[in-house]
Amino acid sequence: MNNKIIIIGADHAGFELKETIKNYLISEGFEIHDIGVYSKDTADYPLIAKQASDIIAENKYRAILICGTGIGMSIAANKIKGIIHAKIIIKNMVFIRKNKALILNAFI
């Protein structure tokens, strides 16, 4: 697995947070593959989750996915066979070694 390549994607609710995280990771030397969205226009998170999961399954990259609550993105991403994603809740963080994606919520 190439640990310096990260897939990043979000729906419209997570757009601003995605851009902030993406810019930070680039400044730290990571190669970022941005799969969208590219504006605050309404978007379907299941499409972004599926695209990220398909890329992870094929290339073994890690991903960061963001939607409003993080729950919908997590459910959608976990529908792809062989993929394990987890929504991270800071107060009750649980780490599973097989996770290949970090799913965040944009709404605090």
Catalytic residue list: 67
Q: What angle do CA 31, 36, 39 make, to 5 degrees?
A: 120
> Alpha-carbon distance 95 to 87, whole Å?
10
Longest C-alpha distance within the chain, in Å? 34
